[in-house]
Chain A
Amino acid sequence: MTEYIHKKVQSIKFRVMSPKIIKKMSAAKVVTPELYDKEGYPVDGGLMDIRLGVIDPGLTCKTCGSKLKECPGHSGYIELARPVLHIQFITTILNLLRCSCRECGRILASEAEIGAQKRKLKKIIAERGLKEKNTAIKTFLQKVRTVSKCPHCRSRQIPVTLEKPTRYLEKDKRLSPIEIRSRLENVPDNDVELFGIDPAALRPEWMILTILPIPSVSMRPSITLQSGERAEDDLTHKLGDIVRINQRLFENINAGAPEIIIEDLWDLLQYHVTTFFKNDVAQLPPARHRSGEPLKTLSNRIKSKQGRIRHNLAGKRTNYSARTVISPDAMLKINEVGVPSQMARKLTVPERVTSWNIEYLKSLIQKGPGVYPGANYVTRPDGRRKRITDETKEELLEELEPGYTVERHIIDGDVALFNRQPSLHRMSMMCHRVKVLDGKTFRMNVAVCNPYNADFDGDEMNLHIPQTEEARAEAEILMEVQTQLISPAYGLSVMGCVQDAVTGNYILTSGTKMSRHEAISLLYSLGIDDFTKLRKNELDGKEIFSALLPNDFKFNGRNNACIAPGDPCKSCPKWKNNKCQLDARIDIVDGQLMNGVIDSKQLASGSGLLLRNIHKQYGPDMTATILTNLFKLGIKVLLKYGFTVGLSDAELTDDVVAEIKEEIKKAYEEVEEVIATYKSGDLKELPGRTARETLENMILGILNKARNKTGEIVARHAKADNPILTMARCGRGRTLNLAMMTACVGQQSLRGGRISGGFHERSLSCFRKKDLGAAAHGFVKNSFKDGLSPAEFFFGAITGRDSLMDTALRTPRSGYLYRRLSNAMQDLKVEYDQTVRDASKQIIQFNYGEDGIDVSKSEKGTINVQKIVTNVCGE
């Protein structure tokens, strides 16, 4: 028979350990609360018994014979003098006590009812799943609870109540754990199933502990403090308490102490065992250190974000990773990452020695770990790993032969994963090619800032080096930057030109002229050496831009200046002589930009239509190259022509200032007028609003109009080459920004209205009460350049603080939503039959998104049919 290996762990079964199993898996029985003898050696039969594992260097485990770090630890047990309840099973025990007969142990239902319920449960689990089964069990038990006479033995039942946390009362008589245990023993397996308990996994009496398993020493290691003192783990402390009380209970029972003393000790033992499992039981005071800090016991170790499950099991740590500050480098390709050479000497890639690369690897070993392209470790075929040092170097060089593995330093072109937290989408971790550089920061192309949501105000990022061939292949094919260009969320480019690159391309394509000589030197500085497209001696910027495009590229579009982007150009008022007066129509024919100014609409992320089309026609690699080149081109153009903003760009002539002042004064007067009408009661109410609301609305309208007008005035009077305006035109901001700097900042709004409240009937104490005017409610009439008055500045601070608060409060809420969504949907995948199914193979959708289109392969999630039609039939 042939054997196939696919999975090591097939399934995990959950069950409760029976006392028998506990004893069987135990290496030692703990009998004494002492930990160490006078020499500091673990006591036999104590909690640190060396049969339970070793945590001291030099000692050997008595059970497995291995030393520290090799011994996995072995569990032990204590025999409890009297049984105690397990706190986590309290409600289950209560259910069992209430619904089973106190005499014969049968469930309080007749045979007929039992049979019916069993059939019903079987049907429910098959048809409707676990949740429905649980509710069915609950309702059945609810019914059975009220039965007062056992249908099997006719004995009368007494209601059982639970006095939290761990006392069961039958009327007023307390049930001791011994009694409870003997009752639970009586419940037959057949009836246990009706409680939703699998008797093979949990016999009811196991819920009452007669012996307590002791976790191995390696699970609760002690720490040696600097003073040489030993500090024990919280669990050890707790177990010490249990053993001590248990011992005393034993002694008292043996000595025949009065029942009341035994009861007290018994309760104390119950308390310690309870807090050992769970130290935040509602009705119990938590067990504390001498310092008053609550002990971290078993349930604390598992629970919450810092617990075992979320911290250690669902979250993994890696080696071969690095983290440092990031900084920009526009000369890198978008899929490159600059790695400091210091890091390159620590981060390694294992390379298998073959007869082809042996000489090369030997040269790396020769250099060793200290000199840059060197190597750090050599692994022999038997798995022994040896560090390369000056001493071992010669020996390793000699024995190196095919089959060995050398861990060499990373070099340019190696595959690395680059990541920035919070990793909110898959573009937060992409594969880059290593480029080893001087300096101490990671360098990256600015175009990839957007998917990572990174900036350079001190952001740090992580780098991981995949270590296996499979991992590298997956990283390259699935995660490399160019494969992630199109966002799976909305089907457009997530990377594009930003900042200066946009402005540069805008300036270049909006009428810049240069000589062929200049153009060549410009393009050559980007690394382009194909100048066949530059034929004339005097070149237009559009022609230079075209040099970066593929020769058969065809594209139509509109830019930000277009006044009617949806309509055909022929019906546009700006369409004269077959040409757009605003140069807003972009036509690229045969890789030649015929007309149109390139701006953010074509290049920036999120819209980037030009890039999207290049991606569609030429694929990811080409797009990445073109994007990199466009980016560099933009920057180089600005470098060549210069682009700067200064205070003088926000300067206005006196008559413009007067015009603006007049405009604002007019608005103020208008506001006063409206207020006067309101006060006289003549204000006509808008439908569905009170007079006051109508007033607010009108004032807001007047002031907004005034501010927009000042903006227009500024835009009209500003010089055409005003750099702030240029930026606004190419899509890096708005004209509003210039208006705020030069003319008027405008209304500060809070919660959708003007600022009000704060003081009694006024917003700030420097205004009159009940003043409804513009200035008293947050209108800032000054510009940033002129400077704000104290009140205006304060209003600005109010809105600033409000948005800060909003951000701070939003982050955890949206984070939680995201966590829930991803937890709920992480198992959904497309099957080979096109259906979307979850882990239990339940069909969620018959065809993904009803048409099976992958958003990251599409254009905004659909196909542009119109384009295909025009491509075939012409316009």
Chain B
Amino acid sequence: MSEELIKEYIDVIPNSLLDQVRKHLPAKAKKAEVKKILELLREEFDNMQIEAGECVGLVAAESIGEPGTQMTLNTKHFGGVAELQVTLGLPRLIEIFDGRQNISTPMMEIYLKNPKCSVEEVTKIAGKIKETPLSELAKSFEVNIADATIEVELDKEAVAQAGIRVATIVKRLQTGLKNVNVKNKEDIIFIKVTKEGDELNKLYAVKETSKGVFVSGIKGVTQVLPVKIGEEYVIKTAGSNLKSVLKMDEIDTYKTRTNDIFETCKVLGLEAARQLIIDEALNVLETQGLDINIRHIMLAADTMTVAGEIRGITRYGIVGQKSSVLARASFETPIKHIIAAAERGEIDKLNSVIENVMINQPVPIGTGLPGLRTKEQGKGT
């Protein structure tokens, strides 16, 4: 009964609020009461609407910028392990709004399809994800000078934990090293150097490089850490490679996320990247104990992504691409912009704020927006 009433308001009140009504409404609410609630809600909602001409951009910039002065600089949060530290605080916020391609601490949170699986299973999956060099899987490296081979004895347990077959290791080694022939006899791998000449030195060089060859795991993931969040196991990683991780069968592809905005954009698309900007910025502010409304961050994220790609808030990004010459010149490198504008014969239409400030005219925002049309005295009819 009340549901029908609620449905009537679907066009005037946003869904999130109507859901709240459904949630809080007592089961035995009378029809008149429901009606009254909805009317009150609508009235309040209408009263809260933003007014036309409001300079929301500046308000958002202020709301994000002002608490920046209260943030701490050297915050690194340890996600359990020393290697798994995450940049937080002001540096991270700057990184997000810069739209940097390479972030300082890429990180993933990998959710599993079967969240209630055993510890062993989680460690197994984690082992599969972690990028492992040969040295971590081997018990010993021996150099056989006579045959010009290197004999690598594998650690059975480690290999099992990484969830990899010996044949795969051989294959990876073959592609990872140059001028070698790789064979295996059960757990021992023979690396034969094929190229002639200065063999001994070469042999030792190959031995060293072979230690560093990544034989298992996903590229870029340097650390893995299974964490129990509530009832669920989540694998946190240092280093990020969303594309490869999403291909794994054991992974919950809906919830798994990275903190690399560009990577998200490439793998999941721009809308996902926008959402990530919002989530990450909000997360930084929250961990600093700052309360900022999501609308401001949403607006910043939207300005960064309107162009169909991620543009940072830098002199090359959004500000550098403004249509007004004077607006660009007022930010950074003014001479470059003015010269380029002169070459192109650009026209500044004086549409935005800063140019009008420069030439002492009312700015086209808020009360500067409405004009008064009037006849000059003595002129016209």
Contact = CB atoms under 8 A, between A and B. Distances in A.
B62 A424 contact: yes
Contact of B342 (A14, A828, A831, A869): A14
Given A806-B72, A828-B56, A852-B49, A869 B345 contact: no
A422 to B, nearest CB: 8
B348 A474 contact: no
B74 interface: yes
Contact of A424 (B52, B66, B318, B346): B66
B300 to A, nearest CB: 7
A14 B314 CA distance: 24
Interface in A181-216: 196-198, 200-202
Contact of A9 (B68, B72, B299, B350): B350
Contact of A307 (B50, B94, B334, B349): B334
A818 B298 contact: no
A38 interface: no
A313 B302 CA distance: 29
Interface in B43-72: 44-45, 47-69, 71-72
B371 interface: yes
Contact of A836 (B17, B56, B94): B56
Nearest to B323: A840
Interface string A800-831: 00000010011101110110111111111111
B380 A3 contact: yes
A825 B54 CA distance: 13
A267 to B, nearest CB: 23
A566 interface: no
Given A824-B303, A840-B323, A869-B25, A818 B74 contact: no
B41 A839 contact: no
Given A806-B73, A868-B40, A825 B303 contact: yes
A806 B330 contact: no
B65 A689 contact: no
A806 B74 contact: yes
A92 interface: yes
A814 B321 contact: no
Contact of B323 (A14, A130, A474, A811): A130
A130 B321 contact: yes
Interface stretch (A483-491, A525-533, A665-673): A483-491
A827 B347 contact: no
Given A821-B300, A844-B302, A868 B313 contact: no
A2 B375 contact: yes
A802 to B, nearest CB: 8
Most A CB within 10 A of own CB, among B16, B33, B65: B65
B330 A88 contact: no
A836 B299 contact: yes
A290 interface: no
Contacts of B67: 489
B343 A196 contact: yes
A785 interface: no
B350 A11 contact: yes
Contacts, number: 348
A829 B342 contact: no
A201 B313 contact: no
Contacts of B345: 13-15, 198, 200-202
B319 A823 contact: yes
B346 A13 contact: yes
A817 B64 CA distance: 9
B359 A9 contact: yes
A813 B70 CA distance: 12
Contacts of B69: 422, 424, 810-811, 814-815
A814 B64 CA distance: 10
B319 to A, nearest CB: 5
Contacts of B365: 827, 829
B81 interface: yes
Interface in A472-530: 474, 478, 488-492
A536 interface: no
Contact of B348 (A11, A278, A806, A811): A11
B230 interface: no
Contacts of A818: 61-62, 64-66, 68
A839 B61 contact: no
Contacts of B26: 869, 873
The 10 closest A-B pairs by CB, nearest first: A201-B345, A828-B57, A818-B65, A198-B345, A825-B57, A839-B352, A814-B68, A849-B295, A489-B63, A2-B380
Given A202-B345, A821-B61, 15 more contacts: A3-B376, A3-B379, A10-B350, A201-B345, A310-B330, A426-B62, A490-B63, A687-B80, A806-B74, A821-B65, A821-B300, A827-B327, A830-B52, A836-B302, A855-B295
22 contacts: A1-B380, A6-B371, A11-B348, A11-B349, A13-B347, A88-B339, A129-B323, A201-B344, A309-B330, A314-B354, A489-B62, A489-B66, A492-B291, A818-B66, A820-B331, A822-B61, A828-B57, A828-B299, A830-B54, A836-B56, A839-B322, A843-B306
Interface of B: 14, 16-17, 20-21, 23-26, 29, 33, 36-37, 40-41, 44-45, 47-69, 71-74, 76, 78, 80-82, 84, 90, 93-94, 97, 225, 291-296, 298-300, 302-303, 306, 313-314, 317-327, 329-331, 334-335, 338-339, 341-355, 357-359, 361, 364-367, 369, 371, 373-376, 379-381
